[in-house]
């Protein structure tokens, strides 16, 4: 649900002041460049005829929370995905705020993602050829690869820039 609505019951009816507050909030988003003038006109018309808080939800769903500065995307991480490093959620400046970086970058992360599938393949290949008794040991590749790729000295990426 939209952060603008908050914890209000969506079936609760709106007052005239609440409708005008919603329209002002939409105007602020248009001033920030998040809405085009056409989108503002469409959403304003919908806000003027809104009856309940639930009618306002679709107007704010794709907009950021009001009153909270949004961090600029630094270009790190997965393409098109922003990581929220909210310092307040960690009680201030936390050492856990940075994100771990895979040793080897994207190649290391890909190897780690493929390791369980490789372990299953080797498990079945050796269980039919050698026997079932020791073929389970291939599954130890998963934590070993995790330690190698994500373990100590794999590095931190500071996303607080």
Whether residue 95 is contained in a domain is answered as no
Whether residue 136 is contained in a domain is answered as yes
Whether residue 64 is contained in a domain is answered as yes
| 114 shares a domain with 55 | no
Average pLDDT score over the chain = 74
Asked whether 111 and 147 are in contact (CB, 8 A), the reply is no
Stated pTM of the model: 0.41
In this structure, how many other beta carbons lie within 10 angstroms of the beta carbon of residue 10? Answer: 13
- Residues 41-69: what's their mean pLDDT? 83
Least confident stretch, 26-35, 63-72, 98-107: 63-72
Report percent pLDDT > 70 for the chain.
66
Range of the domain at 25: 1-68
Confidence band of 5 (pLDDT split at 50, 70, 90): low
Q: Report the pLDDT value the prediction gives residue 87, as an integer from 0 to 100.
A: 41
Asked whether 118 and 128 are in contact (CB, 8 A), the reply is no
Number of domains in the chain: 2
Task: Please say which residue of 68, 87, 120 terminates a domain.
Answer: 68
Whether residue 33 is contained in a domain is answered as yes
Whether residue 153 is contained in a domain is answered as yes
Q: Report the pLDDT value the prediction gives residue 48, as an integer from 0 to 100.
A: 93
- At residue 89, does pLDDT exceed 80? no
CA 101/CA 106 separation, integer angstroms: 9
- Residues 134-147: what's their mean pLDDT? 87
Whether residue 87 is contained in a domain is answered as no
- Residues 8-15: what's their mean pLDDT? 83
| 53 shares a domain with 113 | no
- At residue 106, does pLDDT exceed 60? yes
Confidence band of 110 (pLDDT split at 50, 70, 90): confident
Asked whether 152 and 96 are in contact (CB, 8 A), the reply is no
pLDDT, tens digit, 9 for 90 and up, residues 59-75: 888 888 766 544 444 44
| 110 shares a domain with 55 | no
| 64 shares a domain with 123 | no
| 62 shares a domain with 16 | yes
Q: Report the pLDDT value the prediction gives residue 44, as an integer from 0 to 100.
A: 93
Whether residue 76 is contained in a domain is answered as no
């Amino acid at each position: 649900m939209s952060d603008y609505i908050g914890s209000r019951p969506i079936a609760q009816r709106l007052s005239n002041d609440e409708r005008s507050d919603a329209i002002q909030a939409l105007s602020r988003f248009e001033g920030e460049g998040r809405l085009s003038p056409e989108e503002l006109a469409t959403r304003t018309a919908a806000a003027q005829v809104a009856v309940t808080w639930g009618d306002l939800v679709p107007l704010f769903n794709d907009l950021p929370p009001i009153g909270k500065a949004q961090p600029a995307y630094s270009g790190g991480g997965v393409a098109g995905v922003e990581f929220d490093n909210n310092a307040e959620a960690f009680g201030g400046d936390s050492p856990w705020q940075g994100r771990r970086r895979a040793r080897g970058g994207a190649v290391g992360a890909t190897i780690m993602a493929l390791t369980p599938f490789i372990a299953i393949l080797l498990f079945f290949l050796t269980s039919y050829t050698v026997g079932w008794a020791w073929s389970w040991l291939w599954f130890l590749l998963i934590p070993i690869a995790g330690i190698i790729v994500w373990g100590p000295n794999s590095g931190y990426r500071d996303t607080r820039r």
